[in-house]
């Protein structure tokens, strides 16, 4: 396996745009916020770009020559800034690639080590199963078919229980079949883990080679950057000095004017990025940080815990997954029973509360007491005159209770439906409380801990920038945002690219709110090399680079600003 490459101490302390480059220069030398990758950048200005003292004195002889020299110096300043931005960006991208390559190498190495361990388990499992099969074969060979356990069970006698023997034979057969199946399973696992281990080891070797290449590129771009920083700063100072001479002003005044002009260019670049946000589309499929191996991982094995001789068995993960699948089946049967209560409301539909018609059977019941004298059905014509007098006074009063059932149908009209409209569930103001979580704009408050920690860290002189730093004192841009969000209980991936593509939501730069993450990209959003935390009022806090460390800057100072931000 390849060993980890570390950058030199001098390299890590010099001004590096690292993976978190947001402008290596201080306020006076910040570069434009966006810089299209398709635009060619002028080569680093040589000493010939700097006018000589003689040329400056000659240019002062006429207004036209003075203006021409001023234009030449301003062009040199712009070229110097562009060149410095180019080498900063290249170094930052190389460092981001190195960080990603290191993560892949570590993961592939872990996968290969696990595969080798599982392959050893599978071989042990196969040896155990073959031992069990050998014991069965030896028993049959020693005892023979007639005198073996199976033969004895088949030996009939008057006192023998054939049903018991048959059950015992079935049990023994199942054990033998299970032993054969276990051996077959073990052989398949050995083959599968051997294939997976080969693939994992090959991938680990490729990842290690890729890391070595990324480390070499990172070192090369770092050396290029560090060798350009100081010459570019010196050139800038001399050019500003010549401008002051030509314009007959104080150097501080000229420097301030140059910085103001550069700030206006940065703001214009920010406006340009905002103007393109509507046409920017984030990929629907987010690229995985590390793609899975082409070979699927087989079932894992593990040693059993027992006082006896330790054995290897497959993990019971699949059995656990089967039980939950069996669990949902009963609920499927339950909804069918839920269909049964539906016929019950149909019983409510039995407005056989039309039993209001039952008062008619009640007068028939008035006739029923007389049918107790049903023995006199034939003389009914005679009793009619006599008995008519009896039912009229007394039993007409009985139909009056029949109107009492009439209010009952009024109860069948059951104002109970009215309590249903009154549904005391109208305390559905409780769902309004469920609406309270919807102020997830107020989840912006959850970023308060993250932003507070970030601002405190930026103000702490003991905290500084180191590429690949993971705290507690040294950070790069992505470890800084990762640690800050952790204060609010939000987990972020490690690299800038992963932090962008893992976001659940993307917003435009014109719709930023505190806690959003903004990113730098030089390839249109295929990958990202810097991340900063938006804190409101057009400002961000970020770990910028070793030159300026961790600080709060205007959003426009973020170079190559991507037109979409991430919101967690």
CATH number at residue 537: 3.90.1720.10
Is the link from the previous residue into 417 a cis peptide, with omega within 30 of 0? no
Distance CA 137, CA 127 (A): 15
Distance CA 42, CA 36 (A): 14
Which stretch of 18-27, 68-77, 138-147 has the lowest confidence by average pLDDT? Answer: 18-27
Predicted structure pTM score: 0.62
DSSP, res 561: B
Last residue of one domain, picked from the residues 248, 279, 310? 279
Last residue of one domain, picked from the residues 231, 250, 279? 279
DSSP, res 393: I
Q: What DSSP element (H or E) covers 331? A: helix 329-338
Residue 395 is encoded by which pair of tokens?
A: 């039993």
pLDDT of residue 52: 87
Question: Per the domain annotation, does 19 fall within a domain?
Answer: no
Dihedral of alpha carbons 16, 17, 22, 27, sign? positive
Question: Per the domain annotation, does 492 fall within a domain?
Answer: yes
Which stretch of 282-296, 343-357, 519-533 has the lowest confidence by average pLDDT? Answer: 343-357
Domain range spanning residue 515? 445-567
pLDDT of residue 440: 40
219 in Cβ contact with 11 (< 8 Å): yes
Model pLDDT for residues 85-107, shown as the tens digit of each residue: 899 899 889 999 999 999 999 99
Closest by alpha carbon to 103, among 487, 484, 498?
Answer: 498
Secondary structure percentages of the chain, helix, strand, coil, to 5: 60, 10, 35
pLDDT level of residue 348 (50, 70, 90 thresholds): very low
Question: Per the domain annotation, does 392 fall within a domain?
Answer: no
Model pLDDT for residues 359-370, shown as the tens digit of each residue: 444 444 434 444
Question: Per the domain annotation, does 134 fall within a domain?
Answer: yes
CA distances from 112 to 107, 119, 210, 241, 290 (A): 9, 10, 16, 60, 15
Residue 293 is encoded by which pair of tokens?
A: 């191996």
Distance CA 54, CA 118 (A): 77
pLDDT of residue 197: 95
Question: Per the domain annotation, does 300 fall within a domain?
Answer: no
Percent above pLDDT 90 for the chain: 41
Average pLDDT across the chain, whole number: 73
* pLDDT value at 556 more than 70: yes
Size of the chain in residues: 568
pLDDT of residue 431: 38
Closest by alpha carbon to 533, among 481, 471, 462, 466?
Answer: 481
Which stretch of 54-58, 151-155, 265-269 has the lowest confidence by average pLDDT? Answer: 151-155
CA distances from 400 to 356, 358, 404, 405, 414 (A): 13, 14, 7, 10, 22
Question: Per the domain annotation, does 109 fall within a domain?
Answer: yes
Q: Provide the terminal-to-terminal Cα distance of the chain, rounded to the nearest Å.
A: 37
* pLDDT value at 150 more than 70: no
Question: Per the domain annotation, does 75 fall within a domain?
Answer: yes
Give the chain's domain count: 2
pLDDT of residue 175: 67
pLDDT of residue 17: 35
CA dihedral of 472, 482, 86, 69, whole degrees rounded to 10: -80
Question: Per the domain annotation, does 56 fall within a domain?
Answer: yes
Closest by alpha carbon to 76, among 44, 98, 107?
Answer: 44
Closest by alpha carbon to 58, among 255, 240, 242?
Answer: 242
Averaged pLDDT, 237-251? 92
Distance CA 111, CA 198 (A): 11
Last residue of one domain, picked from the residues 247, 279, 311? 279
């Amino acid at each position: 396996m390849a060993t980890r490459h570390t950058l030199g101490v001098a390299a890590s302390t010099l001004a590096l745009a690292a993976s978190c480059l947001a402008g290596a220069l201080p306020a006076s030398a910040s570069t434009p916020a966006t810089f299209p990758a398709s635009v060619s950048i002028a080569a680093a200005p040589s000493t010939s770009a700097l006018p000589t003292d003689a040329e400056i004195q000659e240019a002062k002889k006429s207004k036209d020559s003075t203006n021409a020299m001023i234009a030449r110096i301003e062009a040199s300043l712009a070229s110097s800034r562009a060149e410095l931005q180019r080498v900063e960006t290249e170094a930052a991208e190389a460092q981001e690639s190195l960080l990603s390559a290191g993560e892949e190498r570590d993961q592939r190495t872990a996968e290969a080590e696990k595969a080798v361990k599982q392959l050893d388990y599978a071989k042990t499992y196969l040896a155990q199963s073959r031992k069990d099969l050998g014991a069965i074969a030896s028993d049959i060979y020693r005892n023979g078919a007639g005198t073996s356990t199976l033969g004895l069970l088949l030996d009939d006698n008057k006192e023998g229980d054939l049903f018991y023997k048959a059950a015992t034979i079935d049990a023994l057969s199942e054990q033998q079949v299970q032993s054969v199946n276990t051996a077959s399973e073990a052989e398949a696992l050995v083959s599968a883990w051997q294939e997976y281990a080969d693939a994992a080891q090959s991938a680990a070797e490729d990842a290690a080679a890729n890391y070595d290449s990324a480390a070499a590129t990172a070192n090369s771009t770092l050396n290029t950057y560090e060798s350009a920083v100081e010459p570019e700063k010196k050139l800038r100072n001399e050019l500003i000095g010549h401008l002051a001479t030509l314009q007959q002003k104080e150097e501080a005044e000229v420097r301030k004017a140059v910085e103001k002009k550069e700030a206006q260019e940065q703001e214009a670049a920010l406006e340009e990025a905002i103007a393109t946000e509507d046409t920017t589309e984030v990929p629907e499929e987010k690229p995985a940080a590390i793609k899975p191996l082409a070979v699927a991982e087989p079932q894992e094995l593990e040693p059993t815990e027992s006082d006896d001789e330790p054995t290897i068995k497959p993990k019971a993960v699949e059995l656990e997954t089967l039980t939950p699948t069996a669990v949902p089946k009963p609920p499927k049967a339950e909804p069918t029973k839920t269909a049964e209560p539906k016929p019950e409301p149909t019983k409510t539909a039995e407005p056989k509360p039309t039993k209001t018609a039952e008062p008619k059977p009640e007068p028939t019941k008035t006739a029923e007491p007389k049918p107790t004298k049903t023995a006199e059905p034939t003389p009914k014509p005679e009793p009619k005159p006599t008995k008519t007098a009896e039912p009229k006074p007394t039993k007409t009063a009985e139909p009056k209770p029949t109107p009492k059932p009439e209010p009952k149908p009024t109860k069948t009209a059951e104002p109970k439906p009215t309590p249903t409209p009154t549904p005391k569930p109208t305390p559905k103001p409780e769902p309004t409380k469920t609406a309270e979580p919807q102020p997830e704009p107020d989840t912006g408050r959850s970023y308060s801990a993250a932003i507070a920690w970030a601002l405190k860290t930026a103000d702490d002189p003991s905290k500084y920038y180191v590429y690949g730093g993971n705290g507690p004192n040294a950070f790069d841009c992505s470890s800084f945002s990762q640690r800050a969000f952790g204060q609010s209980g939000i987990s972020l991936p490690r690299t800038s690219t992963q932090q962008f593509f893992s976001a659940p939501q993307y917003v435009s730069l014109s719709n930023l709110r505190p806690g959003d993450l903004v990113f730098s990209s030089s390839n249109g959003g295929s990958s990202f090399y810097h991340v900063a935390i938006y804190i409101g009022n057009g400002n961000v806090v970020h770990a910028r680079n070793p030159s300026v460390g961790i600080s709060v800057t205007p959003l426009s100072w973020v170079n190559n600003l991507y037109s979409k931000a991430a919101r967690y």
